[in-house]
Structure 1
Amino acid sequence: MALQPEGTPCWADAMFADVEGAKRFYGDVLGWTFGESSTEFGNYTQAYADGKAVAAVVPPMPGAEEQSAWCLYLASPDVEATARKIRDNGGQILMEPMKVGDFGSMTLARDPGGVVFGVWQGGTHEGFDVRGVDGAFCWAEVFTREPDKSDAFFPAVFPYTAKAMDMDAHGEEFRTFHVDGDPVLGRMRMGEEFPADVPPYINVYFGVPDCDAACATAVERGGAVVWGPMNTPFGRFASILDPHGATFSVIDGSTTEGEMPEMRDI
C-alpha cells in the first residue's frame, strides 16, 4: 500500500550536467547539504535540510542532456496501475515502471498538455523526510497552456477533488487539487508572460527563512529572479531560474499579507 496518500507530492529531483555546480548553488540558496553519490543508481545524490532528506540531484542519462528541470513525484500504491490510468486518460509514459532496488518503484509521465511528472511507489524510501520547513518542499503548481486538459487528467488518474478561485475580471482561474480534503497541488494557466519556448512544467516551492535574501544569493551565484518577491496570504515568494536552466520557487511562510482567498468546490 502507499506509504503516503495516493496523489500526494512525495519527492523531487533534477538532472544537472554540472552536478557539483548545482550542489554549490542550492547549498548556498537553500542551505542544503548532500550525501554520498550512489554509483549503483547513476550517481544519484540526496540533498538534506538539517539532516532530513528533501530532494536529490543526478547527472543526466546519456542522450538526455537537455535543459535541467525539477521533477515532482506523486505517490502511488501501485505504479503499474497508475501507469495504465495515465495511458487510459491521454497521458504518455516517458519511462516505463521500474524498480529502484528496494527503495521503491517509479515511472515518468507527461500529461496531455505536456506537463512532465513522476510517480513513486515507496519502498524503503518513502519520499520527503520533512516538508513545509526551511529548505524543504512546501508546495507545487502545474503551469500549463492547456488547463482544461490538466484539469480533466489529474483527477482521473489520482483521487483528487478540486476547488477553484477566480483571479481577475476576465475569469482567469486558479485551481487546487485535494486529497482527503487537503490541498496538495495547484494549477495555473501559462499566459503571454511566458516565452513560447518555455514548456509546461510543475513549479516546485522550497521554504526559506528570508525570501529576499534567498533571491539575492541566487543572483550572486549566477541565477536570476524571474518573478517576485511578492507578499501573499500564503507567504512572501519568488520564482528563480538557476544557472543550469531549472526553475523553482522559494517561499517564506512566516511573512504573509492579506486575507486567504475564498475557493469554490467544483
Structure 2
Amino acid sequence: MSEAADHPTPAPGAPCWVSLPVRGLAAAQEFYGGLFGWEFESGPGGLGPYVRAYVKGEPVAGMSERQAGTEQLRVTWLPFWASNDADATSAEVRDHGGTVAVGPVEWESEGRVVIASDTAGAAFGVWEGTRRFGWRVAEVGVTGIPVWYELIVREAWSAEAFYRQVFGHEALAEESAPDYLTLRLEGQPIAGVLGVGDRLPRDRGPHWKTYFAVEDPDAAVSTAVRLGGRTVRPPHESPYGRTATLADPEGAHFSVISRRLL
C-alpha cells in the first residue's frame, strides 16, 4: 500500500487521530478489518507493536499491542488532540487537574506522543508532529472513518473547564439536550460531552467514545456480533443519523452512524 499524502496541520486542540490499545493485535485486526474493511500496515515502533488502519489508502486509525504489566487496564479508543508543544500541553494537563500517564515520548521520526487523563479520569492522547493524520472533511461519508468523538461523564459542565483551559475548546449547550455540550474550536464543532448522571457505567467510568461512519448501522451490528462483538445499544434514530453502540471482543466501546446522514 502506498503511503498516503500528508494532511494539512490541524489547529492545536483539534482532533487529529484515534488509537486503540489491545491485548491481541491480530484478533483486533480481524474484527475491525471484517467490520469496516480496514487494511493494515505496521506503524512506527517505540511504543511496542503498532499498526495503522487504512481506508482507500488513507490512514484513519491505529492500534497498539498492550505491553507487559498493562493487560488489566481498560481497553478504550483514545482520541488524540493536536499540539504544537507536547511538553507545554503536558504541563497544562497537570496544572488543570489532569494526569499524564505516558510521555511525551518520541515516536521514531513521526512526532511525540502523550497519554493523559482529564479531571474526571477519561483517557485521551496528545500528538505533536509535523505530520498529521485524519480524514479530509469533504470525504467524511466514507465507511470506516472516525467522524465524531464523545466524552461520557457524570456531569457535562464539570468536564468542560478542563478542555477549555488545556486545549482552548469552547462549549455550547444543546437546547434540546441540557445534559449535552458541543465542544468547538475556531467556531467548528469537534466533539461532544454527554452527562449521564447515575447512569455512568461503573465498570467503565468516564471515557471517550468514537463514532465511525458506516453505510447501514443495522448491518454493521449484525456483522460485529458475527465477528465476536456485542451490542451495547441497538440501532436507533438520533438527530444526526441512525446510530448504534457496540463493544469489540475485548470490550472496547464505539459507535457506528449512518454515513448518508452525516
TM-score, normalised by the number of residues in structure 2: 0.90
C-alpha separation in 2, matches of 1:158 and 1:106: 16
1:160 is aligned to 2:160? no
Match of 1:181 in 2: 187
Match of 1:23 in 2: 29
Letter of the structure 1 residue corresponding to residue 173 of structure 2: A
Match of 2:212 in 1: 206
Measured against aligned partners, the alpha-carbon deviations of 1:149-169 in whole angstroms (never above 9, x if no partner) come to 31111000112221101446x
CA distance 1:121–1:31, change in 2 (3 Å): same
1:233 is aligned to 2:239? yes
Match of 2:258 in 1: 252
1:144 is aligned to 2:153? yes
Letter of the structure 1 residue corresponding to residue 79 of structure 2: L
How many residues are aligned here?
251
Post-superposition shift, 1:255?
Answer: 4.0
| 8 A Cα contact 1:140 1:202, kept in partner | yes
Post-superposition shift, 1:79?
Answer: 0.9
Match of 1:94 in 2: 101
Match of 1:259 in 2: none
Letter of the structure 2 residue corresponding to residue 6 of structure 1: P
Where does the alignment leave 5 or more consecutive residues of structure 1 unmatched?
257-266
C-alpha separation in 2, matches of 1:199 and 1:193: 10
Post-superposition shift, 1:145?
Answer: 1.7
Post-superposition shift, 1:123?
Answer: 2.6
| 8 A Cα contact 1:218 1:224, kept in partner | yes
Measured against aligned partners, the alpha-carbon deviations of 1:34-86 in whole angstroms (never above 9, x if no partner) come to 11355554121000111110011111011111232111101111111111111
Post-superposition shift, 1:129?
Answer: 4.5
Post-superposition shift, 1:185?
Answer: 1.0
C-alpha separation in 1, matches of 2:256 and 2:95: 35
C-alpha separation in 2, matches of 1:207 and 1:18: 24
Runs (4+) off by over 6 Å: none
Letter of the structure 2 residue corresponding to residue 221 of structure 1: L
1:243 is aligned to 2:249? yes
C-alpha separation in 2, matches of 1:4 and 1:57: 21
C-alpha separation in 1, matches of 2:205 and 2:198: 13
Letter of the structure 1 residue corresponding to residue 236 of structure 2: M
Choose which of 205, 211, 226 in structure 2 pairs with 1:220: 226
C-alpha separation in 1, matches of 2:222 and 2:179: 31
Letter of the structure 2 residue corresponding to residue 247 of structure 1: H
C-alpha separation in 2, matches of 1:228 and 1:248: 12
Where does the alignment leave 5 or more consecutive residues of structure 2 unmatched?
1-7
Measured against aligned partners, the alpha-carbon deviations of 1:130-163 in whole angstroms (never above 9, x if no partner) come to 4623111100011112433311110001122211
Letter of the structure 2 residue corresponding to residue 143 of structure 1: I
C-alpha separation in 1, matches of 2:121 and 2:170: 22
| 8 A Cα contact 2:46 2:108, kept in partner | no
Post-superposition shift, 1:29?
Answer: 1.0
Alignment of 1:24-103 (within 5 A): 24-36=30-42, 38=44, 41-66=47-72, 67-103=74-110
Match of 1:261 in 2: none
Match of 2:144 in 1: 135
Letter of the structure 1 residue corresponding to residue 223 of structure 2: T
| 8 A Cα contact 2:244 2:255, kept in partner | yes
Of all paired residues, the percent bearing the same amino acid is: 34
1:106 is aligned to 2:113? yes
Post-superposition shift, 1:253?
Answer: 3.0
Post-superposition shift, 1:178?
Answer: 0.6
Letter of the structure 2 residue corresponding to residue 158 of structure 1: F
